[in-house]
Structure 1
């Protein structure tokens, strides 16, 4: 029988597919979600790369409670000095005070603009690139995902998701992720190249370090900005705090969201003060948000950052990912790709994968597929998952694989 809540969900919440999971979750803790009947589910997708420090981490909750006792929203972004914003911005800048082999010609990232989400971070970065360069074109990758608002959708991959919303932004060109010859498409008309360091919705695709060095050099040569979308890869998921650390290439603009908030809504685009300064005039208030950098979200984000650092969760992600790979060996699995705890287990087809995902959920293990790679199982658990929890969850998947 449908519970009354479940029926109201279908009656009154806008639906985005004909087959939502419709799991009725009562509470969450660590790597687990709990249904109304007390059934326990492993969350092996972290709410799609959000719950990097697990659900309701005690230090995140403490930071939220402490901020609730001080103030909530005070004023639109950028007018008042708010301690949670200032402390978080400083901490984020410090994560990038590293030695990269290929630096940005536009200066070190030392300025943060807070948003409510990843797609808003993308939109802000696109405006910044157009305003700074005065150029009309953007380059993104085939099968990339950058968000669902109109600008972000314009640079996302897969025409299937875009065709019924056209016309979108003009001047968008696409390249193959990791394909060196395509870099010739980056020209003096290019405002920015927006690229995921690791292709997320394309099924966890990892280009070589040499590719990113060539990309950095091409952007520098033609004066285009290099924008790294680390909305899924940031905050420790791939074994370093930012995935770009693995390739040694420094972006001009860095995007973050998802795992940034410890479960609270927040995003950011980050750049040098030199770049950000263009929002100050012609026009004044060149980019505006009411709730971006909400103090409670900023407090939660700072606590999340500190937990990842103090508990070495990024450094542990590689070993945990390798353990998952070693346990997911089965004739139905063609390969397990990925870095850290951002993994994709590829199977023959969606028709093979989908029943396995459904049976996993019934058995208490939540997995998923990828928007642009529907024959691969998404495995991206909280970074806090223990070895015992990994073995138990992988045992369930292996049992279902047969």
Structure 2
């Protein structure tokens, strides 16, 4: 059935749970950095499925890998290993720098990877505290939600996992909170859902020093920042530190659901057989897709492209000279546009009307997370449309 966008919206609201807002439109096809809705309208996609579609849409490398794998073997259960699973684990240990002492646990999503991280923290000190940051986001399952530093998201589902403490993102708060009674600190290197908010200079390095001193784990949520998004493979690499564990998802699969927990050094020995598991995590279809995506990012220099195009985008947005633009945040192709007025919803709505997809994580921020493949033509079109959206909302 080929319905209109309006018809699909009606069918959506009559069938889907009430946790979802009404959809903005109904997308039916994508190619590169473009998508089309059910009415045939074309959009420039500068959200990329919220930092997921690293290779854009319908990339031939991903299409071929998934098609080949699903025609070979798609699922076997975790009683067995498969070649793409082992290959992806080896690739992640190489790219993260975890090396021979590192280990990988595969999940189906970012929130599941963070659930594994909560259990890893408990293994490092079952009755100790886990520290997380205010205004952070780590997922919506019960353990990941306990880490999430947004009261409005947590309160309807309390009581959550106990012994999680949230602190402000300052070095002073970090120093005051850490002690022998802490098992782990969980940190987003850049707070994506908060509006792409950077941590203070030196925060991650100090967190590394303090967790080492007190025997706590430093766990970094790289779900939104990983896989080349910020112009390096993983955001912590820019800081010159080595964490105890990182969680990954989103861009790693390029649109195919896959997540991972990667451990470093001594943290790799904390789980023993039977202490965690999943039916679908690490299945050959998802891991074949992730291998294809990460392989293409590496082969085509898309990490470097993210750094280059991110700088180009920042310069172009600054050159607009809009009185609405207060600041630019983030790194690489994870960019937060801070606004001088609470009109982010109006900007994104007008952008959508013009054929541009961006996101308003809060009332005064616009989030940009386009595919890592963008070039001059996509940036030029973005600037034209974004300028018009800003002008209409000023």
- Scaled by the length of structure 1, the TM-score of the pair is 0.92
Q: Which residue of structure 1 lines up, in the alignment, with residue 16 of structure 2?
A: 13
Task: For residues 307-366 of structure 1, give each alpha carbon's deviation from its aligned partner in whole angstroms, at most 9, with x where no partner exists.
Answer: 11111111111221122122223111111212100001111333x221111010011101
Q: Which residue of structure 1 lines up, in the alignment, with residue 142 of structure 2?
A: 150
Does residue 137 in structure 1 map to residue 140 in structure 2?
A: no
Q: Which whole-Å CA distance do the structure 1 matches of 2:239 and 2:97 have between them?
A: 15
Q: Which residue of structure 2 lines up, in the alignment, with residue 197 of structure 1?
A: 189
Q: Which whole-Å CA distance do the structure 2 matches of 1:313 and 1:51 have between them?
A: 13
Q: Which whole-Å CA distance do the structure 1 matches of 2:69 and 2:208 have between them?
A: 40
Q: Taking structure 1 as reference, are residues 333 and 37 closer, same or farther at Cα in structure 2, changes over 3 Å only?
A: same
Q: Taking structure 1 as reference, are residues 109 and 176 closer, same or farther at Cα in structure 2, changes over 3 Å only?
A: farther
SS at match of 2:219: strand
Q: Which whole-Å CA distance do the structure 1 matches of 2:74 and 2:133 have between them?
A: 39
Q: Which whole-Å CA distance do the structure 1 matches of 2:175 and 2:223 have between them?
A: 23
Deviation at 1:257, TM superposition (A): 0.3
Mapping of residues 124-273 of structure 1, within 5 Å = 124-208=116-200, 210-272=202-264
Q: Is the 8 A contact 2:9 2:22 kept in 1?
A: no
Q: Taking structure 1 as reference, are residues 348 and 19 closer, same or farther at Cα in structure 2, changes over 3 Å only?
A: farther
SS at match of 2:198: coil
Q: Is the 8 A contact 1:139 1:175 kept in 2?
A: yes
Does residue 327 in structure 1 map to residue 330 in structure 2?
A: no
Deviation at 1:26, TM superposition (A): 1.3
Q: Which residue of structure 1 lines up, in the alignment, with residue 373 of structure 2?
A: 384
Q: Is the 8 A contact 1:53 1:384 kept in 2?
A: yes
User: How many pairs are equivalent?
Assistant: 385
Q: Which residue of structure 2 lines up, in the alignment, with residue 36 of structure 1?
A: 38
Q: Which residue of structure 1 lines up, in the alignment, with residue 358 of structure 2?
A: 367
SS at match of 1:343: strand
Q: Which residue of structure 1 lines up, in the alignment, with residue 112 of structure 2?
A: 120
Deviation at 1:133, TM superposition (A): 3.0
Deviation at 1:19, TM superposition (A): 4.1
Runs (4+) of structure 1 moved beyond 6 Å? none
Q: Taking structure 1 as reference, are residues 33 and 109 closer, same or farther at Cα in structure 2, changes over 3 Å only?
A: farther
Q: Which residue of structure 1 lines up, in the alignment, with residue 95 of structure 2?
A: 95
Q: Which whole-Å CA distance do the structure 1 matches of 2:201 and 2:5 have between them?
A: 51
SS at match of 1:67: helix
What stretches of structure 2 of length at least 5 have no aligned partner? none
SS at match of 1:346: strand
Task: For residues 203-233 of structure 1, give each alpha carbon's deviation from its aligned partner in whole angstroms, at most 9, with x where no partner exists.
Answer: 2222355221111010011100000100000
Deviation at 1:299, TM superposition (A): 0.4
Q: Which whole-Å CA distance do the structure 1 matches of 2:223 and 2:116 have between them?
A: 14
Aligned match of 2:285 in 296, 321, 329?
A: 296
Deviation at 1:244, TM superposition (A): 0.7
Mapping of residues 304-343 of structure 1, within 5 Å = 304-328=293-317, 329=320, 330-343=322-335
What stretches of structure 1 of length at least 5 have no aligned partner? 99-106
SS at match of 1:202: coil
Using the TM superposition, name which of 176-185 and 300-309 deviates more.
176-185
Q: Taking structure 1 as reference, are residues 249 and 135 closer, same or farther at Cα in structure 2, changes over 3 Å only?
A: farther
Q: Which whole-Å CA distance do the structure 1 matches of 2:47 and 2:307 have between them?
A: 16
Q: Taking structure 1 as reference, are residues 394 and 112 closer, same or farther at Cα in structure 2, changes over 3 Å only?
A: same
Task: For residues 3-27 of structure 1, give each alpha carbon's deviation from its aligned partner in whole angstroms, at most 9, with x where no partner exists.
Answer: 4433211111113244432x11111
Q: Which whole-Å CA distance do the structure 1 matches of 2:96 and 2:54 have between them?
A: 19
Aligned-residue CA RMSD in angstroms? 1.8
Q: Which whole-Å CA distance do the structure 1 matches of 2:373 and 2:93 have between them?
A: 24
Q: Which residue of structure 2 lines up, in the alignment, with residue 80 of structure 1?
A: 80
Q: Which residue of structure 2 lines up, in the alignment, with residue 346 of structure 1?
A: 338
SS at match of 2:381: helix
Q: Is the 8 A contact 1:46 1:52 kept in 2?
A: yes
- Scaled by the length of structure 2, the TM-score of the pair is 0.93
Aligned match of 1:111 in 100, 103, 106?
A: 103
